[in-house]
Amino acid sequence: MRLLLFGAVLAVAAYVLRDQARRESVPDDVLITRVRLKLDRLLAQPGSVNIEVHEGTVSLTGPAAEREVRKVIRALRALPGVRGLNCRLTAHA
């Protein structure tokens, strides 16, 4: 029972800390750099993706491999400072 209660407390703490990180106020130019670094690791051709950020909302346009698009969305939503994501990547084979 104690172990179960301890696990529940840890889960709540992790949720609260993650939520605080998501609400972290990050300047748009810093967020663009963070997004670009993340795309460099996730995409085969990251230079073909255009990034725009306005008040924490990230907009992506350009081509990307179909198998990479989901990874990009998942990774950027978890990135501290990202308040919203508008992914308009064109998936190709």
User: What domains can you pick out in the chain, each with its CATH number?
Assistant: 2-92 (3.30.1340.30)
CB 68 within 8 A of CB 54: no
The model's pLDDT over 41-80, given as tens digits with 9 standing for 90+, comes to: 999 999 999 999 999 999 999 999 999 999 999 999 999 9
Look at residue 93 in the predicted model and tell me its pLDDT. 73
What is the reported pLDDT for 54? Answer: 96
Whether residue 90 contacts residue 65, with contact meaning beta carbons closer than 8 Å, is answered with no
Answer whether residue 29 shows pLDDT above 80: yes
pLDDT at position 81, please?
Answer: 93
Rounded Cα distance between 79 and 34, Å, is 8
Q: Evaluate whether 18 touches 59 at the Cβ level (below 8 Å).
A: no
pLDDT score for 38: 97
Q: Where do runs of H (alpha helix) occur along the chain?
A: 2-22, 28-42, 66-77
pTM of the model: 0.74
